């Protein structure tokens, strides 16, 4: 039961669905990727999913998997613990990520040196429950991710709402911070954590670096709140119907959703309808 090379298209939904223990191929020409294991010359599937083939690499992508970080990933995390000279961050992975005190921007300019008083006042920067926008820098010996926010675009998140989606639906791309035409900023963490917030001009942030760790939200009008809620619900419905989450798909979903009330976006029929709408537009575009 070899995978048919000629007609195999990696986007083809007719690609074989396998369960753990199924034989994928006996052909030794293939290399095995994620979701498979080999015994002698046979490649078996170790998870349930669709077989994917890219040239000679055969892998199986399961529906659900925990996020496993890679260096350079842009993620959103939530501080769970303040420890000595570091913070523990929940990044939706099998282990908490670590944000070292030496990996953050200190107010007063990037050149400022870390002082002893900084170590004693760590909660003035990040406290438990805060959301942080960071990048994966490296790994620790036990596999935990080491994060950093050493760029003005990273740091504490405010003025918005939090949405969780399946990590597989957020593709890695050049930019994970987008300003949508409707006046809302979104941060798409590759780990499945997303932040939807009021648009704040970048210049305002740079002006006053003392405020980068402020816990005070800006004033958000009712209209802005409704737009934020609408975008959040659009992301929920894209997640529910397993559509990839990118700025394009969110904009399409938003535009299609304008005819419905914000809370109706969570009902099943409307969600399916809108998802189909988005998929059609995305196909047309590509």
Partner 1 sequence: MPRPDRRENDQIRALHSILGLLNRVDGSAQFSAGSTSVYCGVYGPVDVKVYDEKLDRAVIEVKFRPAAGVSGTKDRWVESAVRGTFEREILAQMHPRTLIQINIQAREDDGSADAAAINATTMALVDAGVPLRDMVAAASCAVLADGAAVVDPTLEEAAAAQSVHTFAFAGSDIGRAGSGGASGSTSPVYVDSRGDFSVADYDRCYDLCLRSAQRVLAFMRTAIEGKIAKESQISVV
11 binds partner 1 (CB under 8 A): yes
150 binds partner 1 (CB under 8 A): no
C-alpha 190/C-alpha 198 separation (Å) is 21
Our CB check for partner 1 shows the closer of 88 and 198 to be 88
Q: How does DSSP classify residue 277?
A: H
By CB under 8 A, name the one of 63, 152, 202, 261 that touches partner 1.
Answer: 63
CB of 54 to partner 1, least distance (A): 17
140 binds partner 1 (CB under 8 A): no
Our CB check for partner 1 shows the closer of 137 and 239 to be 239
CB of 95 to partner 1, least distance (A): 5
Phi, psi (degrees; rounded to nearest 5) at 120: -85, -15
C-alpha 38/C-alpha 253 separation (Å) is 42
44 binds partner 1 (CB under 8 A): yes
CB of 137 to partner 1, least distance (A): 20
CB of 101 within 8 A of CB of 146?
no
| Residue (of 78, 274, 276, 250) closest to 170 by Cα position | 250
By CB under 8 A, name the one of 2, 4, 5, 17 that touches partner 1.
Answer: 17
By CB under 8 A, name the one of 3, 8, 27, 46 that touches partner 1.
Answer: 46
CB of 109 to partner 1, least distance (A): 36
> Could you please report the per-residue DSSP string of 77-122?
EEEEEEETTEEEEE-SBSS-EEEEGGGSPPTT-TTPPP-HHHHHTG
The two structure tokens encoding residue 58: 């055969």
CB of 113 within 8 A of CB of 104?
no
CB of 45 to partner 1, least distance (A): 9
CB atoms within 10 A of CB 51: 22
Our CB check for partner 1 shows the closer of 153 and 164 to be 164
21 binds partner 1 (CB under 8 A): yes
Beta strands in the chain (DSSP E): 17-18, 23-25, 31-32, 36-39, 42-45, 49-54, 57-62, 74-83, 86-90, 97-100, 131-139, 145-148, 155-156, 160-164, 177-180, 184-188, 193-198
By CB under 8 A, name the one of 3, 33, 48, 153 that touches partner 1.
Answer: 48
Our CB check for partner 1 shows the closer of 62 and 107 to be 62
Which positions lie near partner 1, rule CB under 8 A? Answer: 11, 13, 17, 19-21, 35, 37, 44, 46-50, 62-66, 94-96, 142-143, 169, 241-244, 249, 275, 279, 282-283
């Amino acid at each position: 039961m070899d995978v048919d090379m000629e007609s195999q298209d990696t986007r083809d939904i007719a690609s074989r669905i396998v369960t753990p223990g199924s034989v994928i191929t006996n052909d030794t020409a293939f290399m095995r990727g994620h979701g498979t294991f080999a015994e002698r010359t046979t490649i078996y599937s170790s998870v349930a999913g669709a077989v994917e083939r890219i040239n000679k690499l055969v892998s199986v992508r399961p529906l659900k998997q925990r996020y496993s970080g890679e260096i350079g990933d842009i993620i959103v995390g939530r501080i769970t613990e303040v420890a000595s000279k570091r913070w523990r961050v929940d990044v939706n992975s099998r282990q908490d990520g670590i944000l070292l005190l030496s990996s953050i921007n200190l107010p007063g300019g990037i050149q400022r040196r870390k002082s002893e008083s900084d170590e004693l006042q760590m909660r003035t920067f990040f406290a438990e429950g805060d959301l942080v926008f960071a990048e994966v820098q490296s790994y620790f010996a036990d596999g935990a991710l080491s994060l950093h926010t050493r760029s003005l675009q990273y740091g504490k998140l405010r003025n918005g709402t939090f949405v969780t989606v399946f990590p597989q639906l957020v593709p890695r791309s050049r930019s994970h911070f987008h300003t949508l035409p409707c006046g809302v900023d979104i941060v798409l963490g590759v780990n499945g954590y997303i932040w939807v917030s009021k648009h704040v001009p970048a210049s305002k942030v740079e002006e006053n670096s003392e405020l980068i760790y402020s816990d005070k939200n800006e004033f958000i009008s009712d209209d802005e709140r409704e737009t934020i809620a609408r975008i959040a619900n659009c992301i929920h419905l894209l997640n529910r119907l397993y559509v990839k989450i990118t700025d394009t798909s969110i904009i399409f979903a938003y535009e299609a959703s304008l005819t419905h009330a914000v809370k109706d976006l969570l009902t099943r029929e409307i969600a399916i309808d809108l998802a189909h709408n988005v998929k059609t537009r995305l196909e047309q575009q590509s």
